[in-house]
Amino acid sequence: MSGFAIDPCAKCEEVMQPYLDGALSDAEIAEAHAHLELCRYCAKRYRFEVELRHFVRQAAVEEMPPELKHRLAQLRTPLL
């Protein structure tokens, strides 16, 4: 049933996100891994996806304004 036998790069592209999410079965992981070992085209794109996720996460970080933290603390129940 494996698409890796028919069109390995297309199959690799299809499973790339679940592979990165750790959402594949052990058998599927092994197949994707084996293909990535052999195929430079997909390996490059795999490394790019890893970099991209990292980049998006970093780029999206916006620190909370300190005044907001202060205002949140003021919402606490006053101690009697």
Partner 1 sequence: MSETSQETEARRLAAEARDRVRFEEDALALSDQVYRVARHLVGSREEAEDLMQETYARAFRSWRSFRPGTNLRAWLLRILTNLNIDRGRKIQRTPESQPLEEGDYFLYNKLEESVGDSSPDEERVVERLSQDSVVSALSAVPHDFRDVLVLVDIGDFSYADAAQILDIPIGTVMSRLHRGRRILKTQLADEAVGAK
Of 5, 6, 27, 75, which lies in the binding site for partner 1, with binding defined by CB under 8 A?
75
Q: Which is nearer to partner 1, 34 or 47 (CB)?
A: 47
4 backbone φψ class: left, alpha, beta (φ>0; ψ -120 to 50)? alpha
The alpha carbons of the chain give a radius of gyration, in whole angstroms, of 22
Q: Which is nearer to partner 1, 27 or 59 (CB)?
A: 59
What distance in Å separates the CA atoms of residue 31 and residue 34, rounded to the nearest whole number? 5
Residues in contact with partner 1 by CB under 8 A are 10, 13-14, 16-17, 21, 23, 44-45, 47-49, 51-53, 55-65, 68-69, 71-73, 75-77, 79-80
